[in-house]
C-alpha cells in the first residue's frame, strides 16, 4: 500500500530528475547539435579534454569560484551579526525579520532590474555619489568592477534568508550555557567563541552549503545585469553552459561543462561539511 502512494512521486522523479542526469551524462560523452538531422554520436572523453584546454571555460570557473568566495563570507558574517541582534524578543522584531527577508522572496530577475537601474548612469548609486561631490562610474561595464557590482547585489539579496536560518540556529543554543560562561567570567567575545559558535555549528554549515549551491549556479543576475561581459569577466559557468547549449547548439560539450560544475559544487560542499564537523567528533 505504501508503495502505491509513493509510486507517482517516485516515477516522476525517476523520469524527470534521475533520467535527465543519466541522459546528460551520456550527452557529455557525445557530440550533438539539435539543429542537425543526426542524433548524438559517441566521442568518448573529447568534450572533457576540450574543456580542460578551453581558456573561456577556465575563466568561467575562476569567475564562479571568485563569485562564491567573495559573496559568501561577507553575507554570512553580516547575517550572523543581524541574527544575534534580533535574537531577543522585543516589540517590532518580527517587522525587521520580515523586512530583511523581502529581497529573498522577490525573484532574481526582478531584483536585478532594480539594480540595473541603480547601477546605471542616472541610477541611485551615481546620484548618491553626485550628491557627495564624487564623480559617477559605469559600474557594470568595467572589467575590474562588474563582478564586484553583481556580488554586492547578491550579498544584499541573501542576507535575509541567511539571517533567518542562523537565528533559528541561535535559538537552539541553551540559555544556561551563557549563564555558566558568565559565571566563569567570560566576556562577550569569549561567550561567542565558546558557546554561540559551537552551538550554531550545524546550522552555520547548512547555511554555507546552501549558499555555495545557490551562488555557484549564478545565472539570472548575470543575464540581466551584464550578459557575461565585459570580456567574459562576469561569465559564470552556468552562463557559459547556457550560451554553449542554446546559442551555439553544442549540447554535448555544454553537458560536460555541467558535470564539471557539478563536481566543483560537490567538492566545495564536501570541504564545507568537513570543516563544519570540525574537531567536535
Q: What residues between 39 and 68 interact with another protein by CB under 8 A?
A: none
Cell numbers at 277, concatenated:
564537523
Closest to another protein by CB, 112 vs 144, is 112
**Residue from 76, 255, 268, 272 that binds another protein (CB under 8 A)?**
255
**Partner residues linked to 30 by β-bridges:** 42
Distance between CA atoms of residues 270 and 208, nearest Å: 11
Q: Please answer whether residues 206 and 196 qualify as being in contact, where contact means their C-beta atoms are separated by less than 8 angstroms.
A: no
Work out how close the CB of 277 gets to another protein at its nearest, in angstroms, rounded to a whole number: 16
Asked if residue 35 binds another protein (CB under 8 A), the reply is no
What sign has the CA pseudo-torsion 24, 30, 36, 39?
Answer: negative
Which residues make Cβ contacts (< 8 Å) with residue 14, sequence separation at least 6? none
Asked if residue 10 binds another protein (CB under 8 A), the reply is yes
Work out how close the CB of 25 gets to another protein at its nearest, in angstroms, rounded to a whole number: 9
Asked if residue 187 binds another protein (CB under 8 A), the reply is no
**Residue from 72, 146, 181, 254 that binds another protein (CB under 8 A)?**
254
Closest to another protein by CB, 90 vs 189, is 90
DSSP 158-219: HHHHHHHHHHHHHTTS-HHHHHHHHHTT--HHHHIIIIIHHHHHHHHHHHHHHHHHHHTT--
Interactions with another protein, residue window 108-167 (CB under 8 A) = 108-111, 113-118, 120, 122, 124, 127, 156, 159-161, 164-165, 167
Closest to another protein by CB, 146 vs 257, is 257
Amino acid at each position: 500500500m505504501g508503495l502505491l502512494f509513493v509510486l507517482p512521486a517516485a516515477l516522476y522523479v525517476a523520469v524527470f530528475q534521475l533520467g535527465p542526469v543519466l541522459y546528460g551524462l551520456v550527452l557529455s560523452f557525445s557530440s550533438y547539435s539539435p539543429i542537425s538531422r543526426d542524433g548524438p554520436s559517441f566521442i568518448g572523453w573529447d568534450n572533457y579534454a576540450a574543456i580542460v584546454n578551453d581558456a573561456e571555460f577556465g575563466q568561467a570557473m575562476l569567475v564562479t569560484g571568485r563569485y562564491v568566495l567573495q559573496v559568501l563570507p561577507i553575507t554570512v558574517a553580516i547575517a550572523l551579526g543581524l541574527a544575534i541582534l534580533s535574537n531577543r524578543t522585543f516589540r517590532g522584531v518580527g517587522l525587521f525579520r520580515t523586512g530583511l527577508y523581502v529581497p529573498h522572496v522577490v525573484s532574481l530577475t526582478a531584483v536585478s532590474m532594480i539594480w540595473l537601474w541603480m547601477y546605471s548612469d542616472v541610477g541611485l548609486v551615481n546620484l548618491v555619489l553626485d550628491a557627495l561631490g564624487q564623480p559617477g562610474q559605469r559600474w557594470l561595464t568595467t572589467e575590474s568592477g562588474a563582478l564586484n557590482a553583481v556580488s554586492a547585489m547578491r550579498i544584499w539579496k541573501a542576507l535575509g534568508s541567511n539571517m533567518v536560518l542562523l537565528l533559528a540556529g541561535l535559538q537552539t543554543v541553551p540559555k544556561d550555557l551563557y549563564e555558566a560562561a558568565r559565571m566563569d567570567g567570560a566576556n562577550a567575545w569569549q561567550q561567542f567563541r565558546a558557546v554561540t559558535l559551537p552551538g550554531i555549528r550545524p546550522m552555520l554549515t547548512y547555511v554555507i552549503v546552501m549558499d555555495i549551491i545557490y551562488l555557484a549556479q549564478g545565472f539570472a543576475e548575470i543575464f540581466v545585469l551584464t550578459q557575461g561581459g565585459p570580456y567574459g569577466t562576469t561569465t559564470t559557468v552556468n552562463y557559459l553552459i547556457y550560451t554553449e547549449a542554446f546559442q551555439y547548439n553544442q549540447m554535448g560539450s555544454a553537458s560536460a561543462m555541467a558535470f564539471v560544475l557539478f563536481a566543483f559544487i560537490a567538492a566545495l560542499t564536501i570541504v564545507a561539511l568537513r570543516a563544519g564537523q570540525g574537531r567536535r567528533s
